[in-house]
Amino acid sequence: MSGSCPDYDQERLAALQGARRIVGVDEVGRGPLCGPVTAAAVWLDPDTIPPGLGDSKRLSAARRAVLFAQLQGMADIGIGHASVAEIDALNILQASYLAMRRAIAALALPPDFALIDGNRLPPDLPCAARAVVKGDARVLSIAAASIIAKVTRDAIMADLARRYPGYGWEQNAGYPTKRHINAIADLGLTPEHRRSFKPIRNIL
């Protein structure tokens, strides 16, 4: 594969070092002003990896949806969330780690090694792990996790948009877009807004 596409090298390396069940882990939703942070853990069968797996940020919504559906049938997937209340109580970094641990715990079979997107490892992981900077663009199982997490959280935000219309969450997924900020000024805050985030604190 070209350098711009994720590959299976990190999983192979972990297997050579003795790991038997290797998962990729990624989260989405650190930056938004509202909604949960969502993580996914994915074990890929090396013999049935859907073609075209890539970093969720570089794929169209339609392509992500296709890959999401394909992965359901050929991978072991765990999904974990941390709520707005947990984000406000813990801080966004610790809430992201909590969502990652929940995603790993939700897998059908426990892994013995995790490849985690980022430069730091969550504490209290149930298995050995390695942090991979820009892992969603480099490691196939992390790319798969990024797609699962993004499609899952986008669906949650679209559902919340129906409950709290006017903020544009079905399009901005809760990120601080101009429309979202203007809507907060016009409509006020919802229970889904993260009170600990600076733009929200400033409004309060």
Percent above pLDDT 70 for the chain: 98
Q: What is the pLDDT of residues 46-71, one digit of tens each?
A: 999 999 898 888 899 999 999 999 99
Query: Residue 3 pLDDT > 60, yes or no?
Result: no
Q: What is the pLDDT of residues 162-177, one digit of tens each?
A: 999 999 999 999 999 9
Q: What is the pLDDT of residues 86-109, one digit of tens each?
A: 999 999 999 999 999 999 999 999
The closest of 31, 69, 26, 35 to 154, measured between CA atoms, is 35
Q: How far apart are CA 34 and CA 13, in angstroms?
A: 38
Q: How far apart are CA 157 and CA 133, in angstroms?
A: 27
* pLDDT average, residue stretch 18-38: 98
Residue with tokens 């790319």: 143
Q: How far apart are CA 78 and CA 192, in angstroms?
A: 24
The closest of 86, 115, 106, 108 to 195, measured between CA atoms, is 86
Domains, in order of start, for the chain: 9-203 (3.30.420.10)
pLDDT of residue 19: 97
Mean pLDDT across the chain: 95
Q: What is the pLDDT of residues 33-50, one digit of tens each?
A: 999 999 999 999 999 999
Q: How far apart are CA 189 and CA 111, in angstroms?
A: 40
Instruction: Work out the pLDDT band at 182, boundaries 50, 70, 90.
Output: very high
* pLDDT average, residue stretch 69-90: 97
pLDDT of residue 1: 36
pLDDT of residue 187: 96
